[in-house]
Amino acid sequence: MTQALASALRLARGRRDTSLSELCDFLRIPSVSSDPSRRGDVARAAEWLAVRLRALGAERVAVHPTGGHPIVCGEVAAAGGSRPTVLVYGHYDVQPVSAVDDWETGPFEPEIRGDGLRARGASDNKGPMIACVAAVEAVLASGTMPVNVRFLFEGEEEIGSVHFRAFLEGHRELCACDLALNTDVGMLEEHSPTIYYGLRGLYRARLRVRGPSRDLHSGGYGGVVENPIHVLSELVAGMHDGDGRITLPGFYDSVRPMSSEERREMASLPRDDAAYLRDSGAPALWGEPGYIAAEREGARPALDIIHTFAGSEKASIPAEAEAIVTVRLVPDQAPDEVHAQLTRYLGDRAPATVRWEIGDSSGSPAFLADRNAPGVRAMARAMRSVWERDPVFYRSGGSIAAVGSIREVLGVDSVLTGFSLPGDRVHGPNERLHIPTWERGIDAVIRFLFCLSEEPAFARADGVAAPGCSA
Amino acid sequence: MTQALASALRLARGRRDTSLSELCDFLRIPSVSSDPSRRGDVARAAEWLAVRLRALGAERVAVHPTGGHPIVCGEVAAAGGSRPTVLVYGHYDVQPVSAVDDWETGPFEPEIRGDGLRARGASDNKGPMIACVAAVEAVLASGTMPVNVRFLFEGEEEIGSVHFRAFLEGHRELCACDLALNTDVGMLEEHSPTIYYGLRGLYRARLRVRGPSRDLHSGGYGGVVENPIHVLSELVAGMHDGDGRITLPGFYDSVRPMSSEERREMASLPRDDAAYLRDSGAPALWGEPGYIAAEREGARPALDIIHTFAGSEKASIPAEAEAIVTVRLVPDQAPDEVHAQLTRYLGDRAPATVRWEIGDSSGSPAFLADRNAPGVRAMARAMRSVWERDPVFYRSGGSIAAVGSIREVLGVDSVLTGFSLPGDRVHGPNERLHIPTWERGIDAVIRFLFCLSEEPAFARADGVAAPGCSA
């Protein structure tokens, strides 16, 4: 270990309680991006971040307005122009709080229980973001910046990163970098540091079925007019066959098969079907036959209705029924292609008793990264040092629009990792952050920055040895 | 026409504008029984009615508390003990206002547009109730009461008449009568006065499907865990076969077939399939093959999901999905029997990936009346005089719990009629009352009270001629 690295690790440890307390302040801001009444809170979280970045010594810190929630930028360019630049991505917005009664603590009143920090956003993504901030702060305080860092924190990840891509397109110089670091995914388990080399894409749309021109008394019309709830139910039910395969016409045509090597690797992941079953709390697993759960999550597509709403307590046949359909995509499925398949499916199946429409459709394709890229190698070395074991390479079933946008607009890939655990209840009630893992995460990011500078691809033109991670 | 009858009709006409204005006052009270925040308004509507009954000269007027919303009683006993007593039933509670944006006028700001009075409750049931009140007032003011009248107005019809039956059981003497008059149904069309001889029963229950123990991130679990929305959709979709027949096991076993005479009569009703289609605004009709719409409405059972709700905008597989199922029953289906069929259906069909439960179940059987009862005959005569044509005899698809309770507890049948029209949008936005029909309704109730006293079944023991409707 170099002296500079040792010093940075020591400084971060010394600041641990302060960093945790700062994270709690951040978590107290209910930055729910999907809730218009929380607009002011989202803006407050952005301001909080800007203050935090300035405090650690970042320059060019600014809260950039967008058509929606702002984007916060800042940079630490102390390593100089000949050194590589890492773009540290994060999102400061959080999911809404549903099932309020199921929360054991106030969602925006962070509370430490055992080794967990309870709060909405603790794991997704405020905790990991603040780990990156604390790491850069410690490295800068050590007096030796091995690489340059740019921060890019958005406030719309949980609502589909609506304005993120346009922001990148308008700020290419501000965001220029050699690679990105994204800690918005998690670890397979406490002792398995994890690097994600894949993400599923996401197609999303609102599906509406209209029957009668108004709500009808269900006494006067029950048995006479087809109920849009029944029609929607039939359409939804028909989207899977009895085995769990998706029935949209041609749906699997462009799904890229896994190699047998990848399937072997997936079969030996530390997360087997029993772990999925335990973590989900479901009575049984389910899905496409012939694939284990890890494959179905990361490498096979999935269709889910995430929301359905129709009618009311009053005894009526409702005029319409609505659902939000999402499809998690894998290479080489295109969102437009799935939109066309869904349209064809509805055209083929919807009965003449209703009219239907698809609205608000959006989509982004899946992501597969090179597992031999310098960033991935540097993160693997850093993780090996912290956890004393090789990281697991994983394909995530989630979707992060920013990863695709950064690839397409800035031309760089993201090192995808994170410090949340499967039991952290991301998006659900009682979200928490496992504090010891979060602390290891700070160490890992510090080491990553130093290891990165040793990567041959980033060798200095002048041949002067970079401040690295090895002695 | 007797002088007494002519005088009553004249008095009612003279008071027409006052009655309409009083109805508007009544409609301004948002007595939504299903909305806990409207509890005070419901109570206010009950008090308003008590004041109104006292003003017309009713005695023993009282607002009786129940476990829920109060019941208002009062009587006009001027005809004396040897004359028959009519129990005038009504409900002063209204349906909630959904689809607020679709209302062209304020739901609780009654407004006359053309010959319609727009307001929630105008047709269901405040308008028809006030028609009865105005009729009794005019008859009493004429100086000749041919029969005795008791008023019985409940505030829980729209939420299943929760406390009505228990109230009758506790107040048998107060409610004792020879027959009941219920104007909570409507007319087939403006020129077809209608007497209903049947009502469907109603079974209602909440169906819940539970999958994972909490909402799961749909990226991490999509394709791995079965979505409770999908399972609920399959269960709902499977409740009808491709032809629109209900598939609950044994469902049609106790459905009483119609006689060929009744089917002939139904085929000649002034409401054919084209009228149902037009009134519903649906692209096409639907339902059990082999029956016309009027038969499917009145004499065949129907199953409808009136409410479904699950998930949210956030990208999760929800922990559970819910639906409210209602079944409109015909003779001789028992609610308990349908509950058992639904339970068996779910047991047979629900997959092992979920748990399910049925909650909040309730039910009341269907009602079929004797079309030759004195009350029905008297109403038919009254209607013939007002509309100058024979009334239509109709089986309604609706369900009125009070009719069953009155039969079972008080031992009398209800004369079921009403003064709302198919286009009155009962339970929907822009509910209205057709004012000319409402005025004919007042006349019809006045005539009904006089005609009733001429029915042989109610002949006076002392042989003195009753004040009747014929000269």
Inter-residue contact B87 to B171 (CB < 8 Å) = no
Smallest CA–CA distance from B274 into chain A, residue: A224
**Which of B215, B240, B352 comes nearest A98 by C-beta?**
B215
Compare CB distances from B312 to A98, A216, A283 and report the shortest one's residue.
A98
Amino acid at A7: S
Judge residue A471's burial from the number of C-beta atoms within 10 Å of its C-beta, 0-12 exposed, 13-18 middle, 19 or more buried.
Answer: exposed
Closest CB to A283: pick one of B309, B311, B354: B354
Q: Nearest C-alpha of chain B: how many angstroms from A97? A: 10
Residue pairs spanning A and B at CB distance below 8 A: 321
Q: DSSP characters for B123-142?
A: IIIIHHHHHHHHHHHHHHHT
Q: With cut-offs at 50, 70 and 90, classify the pLDDT of residue B123.
A: very high
Q: Where are the beta strands (DSSP E) in B111-234?
A: 111-113, 116-118, 148-154, 179-182, 194-199, 201-210, 216-217
> Would you say A350 and A231 are in contact if contact means Cβ atoms under 8 Å apart?
yes
In angstroms, the CA B423 to CA B280 distance is: 9
Integer Cα distance of A139 and A263 in angstroms = 39
DSSP one-letter string for A192-219: B-EEEEEE-EEEEEEEEEE-SSS-EEHH
Using a CB-CB cut-off of 8 Å, the residues of chain A touching B353 are: 282-286
Other beta carbons within 10 angstroms of residue B400's beta carbon come to 27
> Are the beta carbons of A286 and B399 separated by less than 8 Å?
no
Check B211 against A283: CB less than 8 A apart.
yes
Calpha distance A426→A91 (Å, rounded): 14
d(CA A366, CA B322): 32
Distance (Å) from the alpha carbon of B135 to chain A's nearest alpha carbon: 28
Q: Which residues contact A142 (CB under 8 A, 6 or more apart)?
A: A4, A5, A7, A8, A11
Question: Is the CA virtual torsion A449, A454, A460, A465 positive or negative?
Answer: positive
Q: Is there a contact between B324 and A313 if contact means CB atoms under 8 Å apart?
A: yes
B306 → closest Cβ in A285, A300, A311: A311
State residue B109's pLDDT score.
Answer: 97
In terms of C-beta density within 10 A (0-12 exposed, 13-18 middle, 19 or more buried), how is residue B430 classed? buried
Inter-chain CB proximity B158 and A215 less than 8 Å: no
Q: Could A227 and B304 be called an inter-chain contact, meaning their C-beta atoms sit closer than 8 Å?
A: yes
Q: What is the mean pLDDT of residues B328-355?
A: 97
pLDDT of the residue at A267: 94
pLDDT of amino acid A400? 85
Residues of chain A contacting residue B304, judged by C-beta atoms under 8 Å apart: 218, 222, 227, 229-230, 317
- Distance CA(A347)–CA(A337), nearest Å, equals 15
Closest CA to B39 of B66, B2, B60, B61: B66
Q: Which residues contact A244 (CB under 8 A, 6 or more apart)?
A: A286, A287, A288, A289, B223, B226
pLDDT at residue B326 is higher than 80? yes
Nearest to A296 among B224, B307, B321 (CB): B224
Which segments within A350-419 are labelled E, that is strand?
355-364, 367-368, 392-395, 414-416
CB–CB contact A306 B283 (8 Å): no
Gap from B415 CA to chain A (nearest CA, Å): 19
Q: Which residue of chain A has the CA closest to B240?
A: A230
Distance CA A75, CA A139 (A): 13
- Mutation target for B interface from A103, A194, A225: give the one with most B CBs within 10 A: A225
Nearest Cβ partner for B215 among A99, A226, A230: A99
Contact A182, A419 (CB under 8 A): no
pLDDT in tens, A361-384: 988 899 999 999 999 999 999 999
CB contact under 8 A, B315 and A321: no
CB nearest to B308's CB, from A99, A306, A308: A308
- Helix (H) or strand (E) holding A231, with range, is helix A228-237
Q: What is residue B97's predicted lDDT score, i.e. its pLDDT?
A: 92
List of E strands, B277-431: 302-311, 316-317, 320-329, 355-364, 367-368, 392-395, 414-416
A341, A345, A348, A351 alpha-carbon torsion, rounded to 10°: -150
For the CA atoms of A182, A24, B218, B225, the dihedral, rounded to the nearest 10 degrees, stands at 120
What is the H or E stretch that residue B296 is in? helix B293-298
pLDDT surpasses 90 at B303: yes
Inform me whether the pLDDT recorded for B471 exceeds 60: no
For B77-108, how does the pLDDT look when each residue is reduced to its tens digit (9 = 90+)?
A: 999 988 999 999 999 999 999 778 899 999 99
Spatial contact of A31 and A38, defined as CB atoms under 8 Å apart: yes
B225 and A326 in contact by Cβ < 8 A? no
Residue B177's pLDDT is what? 97
CA distance A171 to chain B (A): 29
Averaged pLDDT for residues B130-147: 96
Written as six digits, the tokens of B206 are 């909440």
User: What pLDDT is recorded for position A465?
Assistant: 63
Query: In this predicted structure, what is the pLDDT of residue A464?
Result: 61
Residue B145 has pLDDT above 90, yes or no: yes
Q: Which residues of A touch B395 (CB under 8 A)?
A: none
- CB contact under 8 Å between B219 and A396, yes or no, is yes
Cβ-nearest to A225 among B224, B280, B355: B280
Mutation site, A156, A158, A313, interface B, largest B CB count within 10 A: A313
Q: State the pLDDT confidence band at B364, using cuts at 50, 70 and 90.
A: confident
- The parts of chain A modelled with pLDDT lower than 70 are 460-466, 471
pLDDT, residue A422, reads: 82
User: Cβ–Cβ of B301/A95 closer than 8 Å?
Assistant: no
| Minimal C-alpha gap between B50 and chain A (Å) | 27
How many angstroms away from the CA of B40 is the closest CA of chain A?
A: 20
Cβ separation of B220 and A158 shorter than 8 Å? no
The token duo for A417 is 């990792």
pLDDT band at B271; cut points 50, 70, 90: confident
* Site of tokens 């810190």: A61
Residue of chain B minimizing CA distance to A124? B217
pLDDT tens per residue, range B40-71: 999 999 999 999 999 999 999 999 999 999 99
Residues of B in contact with A239 (CB under 8 A): 230
Per-residue model confidence (pLDDT) at position B427:
82
Q: Residue B160: which pLDDT band, with cuts at 50, 70 and 90? A: confident
Q: What is the DSSP letter of B210?
A: E
Q: Are A367 and A185 in contact (CB under 8 A)?
A: no
Phi, psi of B93 (to 5 degrees): -90, 160
Instruction: Kindly state the greatest CA–CA separation across chain A.
Output: 86
Residues of B in contact with A200 (CB under 8 A): 219, 222
Nearest to B326 among A34, A218, A352 (CB): A218
SS3 A39: helix
Tokens of A436: 């010891």
Output the six-digit token pair for A281.
């709390």
Q: Which of A91, A202, A305 to mutate to test the interface with B (most CBs of B within 10 A)?
A: A305
The reply to whether residue B428 touches residue A34, judged by beta carbons under 8 angstroms, is no
Residue of B313, B353, B421 to mutate when probing chain A, most A C-beta within 10 A: B313
Question: Is B306–A313 a contact, with Cβ atoms under 8 angstroms apart?
Answer: yes
Cis peptide before A17 (omega within 30 of 0): no
Tell me the C-alpha distance between B278 and B280, whole Å: 6
**A313 and B297 in contact by Cβ < 8 A?**
no
Is A315 close to B427, i.e. CB distance below 8 A?
yes
